[in-house]
Amino acid sequence: MTRKQTQQQLEKNLENLVEIINLEAIQQLPKATEHFISDLHGEFEAFDHILRNCSGVISLKVKDLFDGILSEEQQQELCFYIYYPEDLLANLEKTNQEWYKLLDELVQLTRFVSTKYTRSKVRKALPKYFAYILEELLYKYDETENKEQYYNSIYVTIVDLNLANDFAIVLANLIQRFVVDHLHVLGDIYDRGPDPDKIMDRLMEVPSLDIQLGNHDLIWIGAFSGSIPCLCNVLRITLRYGHTALMEKYGIDLARLAKYGERYYDDNKAFRPRGDNQELTEEEILDITRMHQAISIMQFKVEGETIKRRPEFKMEDRLLFSKLSENRQTLIIDGKEYPLSNTCFQKVYEEDPYELTLGEELVLRDLLHQFQTSEKLQRHIAFLVNEGTLYQTYNGNLLFHGCIPCDQNGEFLEITLEGQQYSGRALMDYFANCIHKAYDNPNTHDDFATDVVWYLWCGEASNLFGKKTMKTFERYFSDDKELHHEAKNPYYELRNQEAFCIKLLNEFGLSDEGYIINGHTPVKTLKGELPIKANGKMLVIDGGLAKPYQKETGIAGYTLVDNSHETYLVAHHAFTTKEDAIANYRDILPTKEVVTKRSRRAQVLHTDIGSSLVQQANRLRYASGFGDRPSV
């Protein structure tokens, strides 16, 4: 070996040794904070506020650092400067001294919330144009008179150059970023609320996150991937809540559907838009009502065709057009007649009730084309498919949106698909594969994978649906509450049992020490339901962010925070509007309920990232002659 090669070898070995030092040091840092949120349902402003205040974490950090220094009023004001810097700091009239004080408080807080990270990680988060100045201020160790004027000069010059607003906004955004290291979104970004597109844009800016897909996210993916039943469901739900503006934002023109609805349908109280639609004129409401009927009938037709070509779905009982009486005024089920009201079956033909008319087919082709060519929707669906999973194991815990379908005895529900039986984790993996297959082949509309995506919306063995039957038809056309009932999967009773939850954790390769985090079902706190179940093994964090749920839940959503000291649930009070919150410093003051209080502070070593760092360090130790061969 030449001298040059020997030198290179020594340098390489030294490089490995230094990296071992780095990897093993990082393992000793405190575990970073995780933030969990579920069932956003298009309520952008409430979601955005929770994200900005990090479920109250920022207010707690401000109190920790400035208690006894700032009054409660001053602390609250500082919090809102951090939550909404672009709104409150722009053109803020303060004296120079007040600006120096505010900037110094923001720097102190940024330093305080970034101490659990390496300098390298903090440096990567700093905007390039302020990076040097920020590093000097954040790592301010010499506070003697040697550097006192140096640090003061930075603040003075920032204010003198009219950069105070910009610098304060950067600091506020850094605080938000450092307070929470990783965001978990447990599904249902879409449905009910008016602004899921804004939520998607916001999520695409989050530096570190994962998404567990919800049933409402799934039908948007299905619609984009070519599932006509999913497309109909998306449009029906959008029209049900009067959110035609959402379609406009995605560049979807409903003119052809509106024209078809006007031609064949009249006013119908069962199909009038729900919720607060004060901005809609009576003419617009009538248009929506007609379109709503038209797309609903199309949905029942295309779902019927899917059920007929997929006998393995075992959904023949949902072929309800075949159960209509001759005069179309009653539904005959198991020999019993149920009267119907608000019917609109004029385009359902007796000889083949599931056959689309030419007009319906043209409308659906037009809508599908628009969905698949919408650039904004393409971005959002690509993000959902790439970042979204049906379940996630993270730091020893199991995250998913809905349920693991099972029978009364707690055995996982089996279904035979493409000649093979699936249940539990294997079934979820199979479903996930179908989602990607359908997305990768958007021009095929009736292939098995695409039909499975629709089955995930309403099938008995779907981990996203969690019920035996979806009663959409009955809820529109019958007043009989017996017909409306949707029996929940036994999972929702069994999840109160610790032994069953441990069985679920083990199914996904996790130890008994972890816990399960669910969304999907609002926690009815008004009826005494608790979000912590099974002796702390099951945490349900959908408390009802969507306004329609709040009459049942009494709150405006649960979120979960997991930091190095503790894991706790946060119950949020109802959010009004962003403008009201800013004008009156009206925060979502969280009610904190501790799930786990750690006797010893958790470190990076105890996380999934820590396990990866241990493996990397062990491989380098072995390669450098300082350790045994690592196990595979």
In three-state secondary structure terms, 420 is strand
Per-residue model confidence (pLDDT) at position 278: 74
Q: Which helix (H) or strand (E) holds 54?
A: none
Residue 390 lies in a domain: yes
Q: Which of 423, 458, 484 is the last residue of a domain?
A: 484
Task: Domain of residue 620: give its range.
Answer: 3-29+609-624
Can you give the C-alpha Rg of the chain in angstroms? 28
Per-residue model confidence (pLDDT) at position 140: 79
Question: Is residue 176 within 8 Å of residue 202, measured between CB atoms?
Answer: no
Report how far residue 61's alpha carbon sits from residue 72's, in angstroms, rounded to the nearest whole number.
13
Question: Is residue 45 within 8 Å of residue 578, measured between CB atoms?
Answer: yes
Q: Which helix (H) or strand (E) holds 416?
A: strand 415-417
Report how far residue 90's alpha carbon sits from residue 104's, in angstroms, rounded to the nearest whole number.
18
Instruction: Fill in the DSSP letter of residue 58.
Output: H
Tokens of 296: 């609903």
* Phi then psi dihedrals of residue 488, to 5 deg: -75, 150
Report how far residue 617's alpha carbon sits from residue 614's, in angstroms, rounded to the nearest whole number.
5
Residue 215 lies in a domain: yes
* Pick from 401, 421, 420, 397: nearest CA to 411: 421
Report how far residue 184's alpha carbon sits from residue 59's, in angstroms, rounded to the nearest whole number.
21
**What's the CA angle centered on 486, arms 484 and 489, to 5 degrees?**
175
Per-residue model confidence (pLDDT) at position 275: 77
The reported pTM is 0.94
In three-state secondary structure terms, 369 is helix
Cβ of 161: how many Cβ atoms within 10 Å? 10
Distance of CA 328 to the CA centre of its chain: 41
Tokens of 311: 């006998």
Residue 223 lies in a domain: yes
Looking at the structure, do residues 342 and 396 belong to the same domain, yes or no? yes
Per-residue model confidence (pLDDT) at position 137: 92
Residue 267 lies in a domain: yes
Task: Walk along the chain (632 residues) in steps of 10 and give the mean pLDDT of each run.
Answer: 60 82 93 94 91 92 96 94 91 88 96 94 93 91 72 92 94 96 95 93 96 97 98 97 95 98 97 85 96 98 98 96 92 91 95 96 98 98 98 97 96 97 98 98 94 98 96 96 94 96 97 92 73 93 66 69 92 78 73 86 93 92 80 63
Looking at the structure, do residues 72 and 171 belong to the same domain, yes or no? yes
Looking at the structure, do residues 235 and 344 belong to the same domain, yes or no? yes
Looking at the structure, do residues 384 and 290 belong to the same domain, yes or no? yes
State the sign of the Cα–Cα–Cα–Cα dihedral 187, 188, 193, 198.
positive
Number of domains in the chain: 3
Looking at the structure, do residues 24 and 133 belong to the same domain, yes or no? no
Looking at the structure, do residues 364 and 460 belong to the same domain, yes or no? yes
Per-residue model confidence (pLDDT) at position 240: 96
Report how far residue 344's alpha carbon sits from residue 337's, in angstroms, rounded to the nearest whole number.
18
Looking at the structure, do residues 173 and 252 belong to the same domain, yes or no? no
Looking at the structure, do residues 161 and 293 belong to the same domain, yes or no? no
Looking at the structure, do residues 173 and 204 belong to the same domain, yes or no? no
**What's the CA angle centered on 578, arms 548 and 235, to 5 degrees?**
40
What count of Cα atoms within 13 Å lies in the side-chain half-sphere of residue 51? 23
Looking at the structure, do residues 259 and 292 belong to the same domain, yes or no? yes
Report how far residue 525's alpha carbon sits from residue 137's, in angstroms, rounded to the nearest whole number.
46
In three-state secondary structure terms, 14 is helix
Q: Which of 425, 452, 484 is the last residue of a domain?
A: 484
Residue 343 lies in a domain: yes
Per-residue model confidence (pLDDT) at position 352: 93
Report how far residue 178's alpha carbon sits from residue 126's, in angstroms, rounded to the nearest whole number.
11
Per-residue model confidence (pLDDT) at position 5: 53
Tokens of 171: 């600091």
Question: Is residue 392 within 8 Å of residue 212, measured between CB atoms?
Answer: yes
Question: Is residue 428 within 8 Å of residue 189, measured between CB atoms?
Answer: no
Q: Which of 430, 449, 484 is the last residue of a domain?
A: 484
Residue 417 lies in a domain: yes
Residue 593 lies in a domain: no
Looking at the structure, do residues 210 and 73 belong to the same domain, yes or no? no
Per-residue model confidence (pLDDT) at position 15: 86
Looking at the structure, do residues 25 and 79 belong to the same domain, yes or no? no
Report how far residue 221's alpha carbon sits from residue 452's, in angstroms, rounded to the nearest whole number.
12
Report how far residue 181's alpha carbon sits from residue 206's, in angstroms, rounded to the nearest whole number.
10
Beta-bridge partners for 324 = 331
Question: Is residue 225 within 8 Å of residue 439, measured between CB atoms?
Answer: yes
* Pick from 352, 356, 351, 261: nearest CA to 299: 356
Residue 363 lies in a domain: yes
Question: Is residue 243 within 8 Å of residue 280, measured between CB atoms?
Answer: no
What spatial distance separates the first Cα and last Cα of the chain, rounded to whole Å?
Answer: 32
In the chain, count H helices and then E strands. 27, 16
Going by their DSSP bridges, the two strands 182-185 and 209-212 should be labelled as: parallel
Report how far residue 322's alpha carbon sits from residue 304's, in angstroms, rounded to the nearest whole number.
10
